[in-house]
Amino acid sequence: MNISDRKATGSPDTIALVTGCSSGIGRATALALARQGFAVWASARSVETLRELESAGCRTVRLDVTNMDSRIQAVSRIKADGGSIGLLVNNAGYSQPGAVEELPLDAYRAQFETNVFGLIGLCQLVLPGMRANGRGTIVNLGSGAGLVTPPLSSAYAMSKYALEAFSDSLRFETSRFGIRTILVEASAIKSSFTNTLEQMLPAQAGGSPYTAVTAKVLRFARYKVGSQVRIAPTARRLLGDRLWDAVMARLIRAE
């Protein structure tokens, strides 16, 4: 986004809110936007994790995207301090792995509360200001898992498939108000996000029928697969269910 002609006037779209800034993509995004001249508000559930970003010129705010009061308080604070949010980067999220048979329904609900419903709630809070200003940008962090579903990833992939539909609808609904919607379909990226997969797995009882496939998927998840978004969806469509399942089985067996 070219903001060189907007920074001097202090127009609203220079005020950016980035969620999930404690590490990984969120932290890197906040730093990059600050270097470009945005008035960045970096957020996380614990502001203590954001001290480095404060030193880099970001403002910080506590934000638990799953909590309605927290969302309202964070957006209200930013508005009171400097005006309407012109750029919202919905990065906060996590991956809940687990076999369908063993993953509790509450785990599915929690996945959607963070990755989908919290994101929608923030969009609803910033959209009135963007409409009033006649411009704004919303960036949603999707995933290659929203195009092709890996094994043991039903909860996460479902949430990212949902963002595909949500972003399409939001883009059509709000473009006439000067609001842009951008969906980033990221491939696997080495960060603390992937390091938490094993911690998020549901406990497997002795003799679980999914122990072997779980171990293989975890080994495979440690590799960066940069072609996931570009190649996998086309391959998935062309191969059909039977051949695609055979390809995934070979990949999981890879050492």
Please tell me what DSSP assigns to residue 241. H
Domain tally for the chain? 1
Contact between 84 and 90 under an 8 Å Cβ cutoff? The reply is: no
Evaluate whether residue 2 is within a structural domain.
no
Residue 129: CATH number of its domain = 3.40.50.720
Contact between 181 and 138 under an 8 Å Cβ cutoff? The reply is: yes
**Does 156 qualify as catalytic in the annotation?**
yes
Strand partners, 181: 138
Evaluate whether residue 4 is within a structural domain.
no
Evaluate whether residue 52 is within a structural domain.
yes
pLDDT at 8: 34
Residue 149 confidence class, pLDDT cut points 50, 70, 90: confident
Q: What is the pLDDT of residues 211-236, one digit of tens each?
A: 766 666 666 554 444 455 566 666 65
Which residues have a Cβ under 8 Å from the Cβ of 99 and sit 6 or more positions away?
152, 210, 213, 214
Least confident of 43-47, 62-66, 76-80, 190-194: 190-194
Least confident of 8-22, 87-101, 136-150, 161-175: 8-22
Alpha-carbon distance of 176 to 47, in angstroms, equals 36
Least confident of 61-65, 153-157, 213-217: 213-217
Evaluate whether residue 7 is within a structural domain.
no
pLDDT at 194: 53
pLDDT at 209: 79
Query: Which residue segment(s) compose the domain that 199 sits in?
Result: 12-253
Report whether pLDDT(136) > 60. yes
Of residues 237, 229, 212, the one with CA closest to residue 151: 212
Least confident of 79-83, 178-182, 240-244, 250-254: 250-254
Q: Give every strand in the sheet of 59-62, ordered side by side.
A: 59-62, 39-44, 15-18, 87-90, 136-141, 179-184
Evaluate whether residue 3 is within a structural domain.
no
Catalytic pick among 94, 108, 156, 161: 156
Task: Using a pLDDT cut of 70, give the percent of the chain over it.
Answer: 71
Evaluate whether residue 77 is within a structural domain.
yes
The mean per-residue pLDDT over the stretch 107-119 comes to 97
Alpha-carbon distance of 99 to 236, in angstroms, equals 21
Least confident of 4-13, 158-167, 178-187: 4-13
Q: Which of the pair, 253 or 86, is modelled with greater confidence?
A: 86
The mean per-residue pLDDT over the stretch 120-129 comes to 97
Evaluate whether residue 1 is within a structural domain.
no
Evaluate whether residue 5 is within a structural domain.
no
Strand partners, 17: 41, 88
